[in-house]
Structure 1
Amino acid sequence: MWDLPNNCTVTFESNGGNNVPTKTIECRNLLIEPTNPMKEGYIFVGRYKNEELTEAWILIKV
């Protein structure tokens, strides 16, 4: 059986936008959505699981 670490590090790729800070959370806990990245000339439309931007994350507002 595998033991999970107590904390997990989550990183965000802004695809050329401003830096979105890395978050460290307790594993298995909900992640609070970070501030949207900004990039001149673009409008942020969502977060995706893959580099091709075809698998959107479904976020739940709490």
Structure 2
Amino acid sequence: MNLLVYYIMSYIRFFLTNHTINAKTNRFIHFAESSVGQNNYSVYLFTMHACLYHHLFL
């Protein structure tokens, strides 16, 4: 796995776990991490961006 992607992934997970996460967002995170296992980084980044946007602005 690309080290930069892993670093971003762990940082975002750390950020999200330090905030209140509902079950819907947890499913998004699980979906994103499973897509990384299939080397589908674009799906992961898009999903995590949606999660961050949801937590920061909604």
On whether the aligned pair clears a TM of 0.5, the verdict is no
Structure 1 length-normalised TM: 0.24
Q: Which has the higher contact order (CA 8 A, sep 6+)?
A: 2
Structure 2 length-normalised TM: 0.24
Which is richer in strand?
1
Higher Cα Rg, which structure: 1
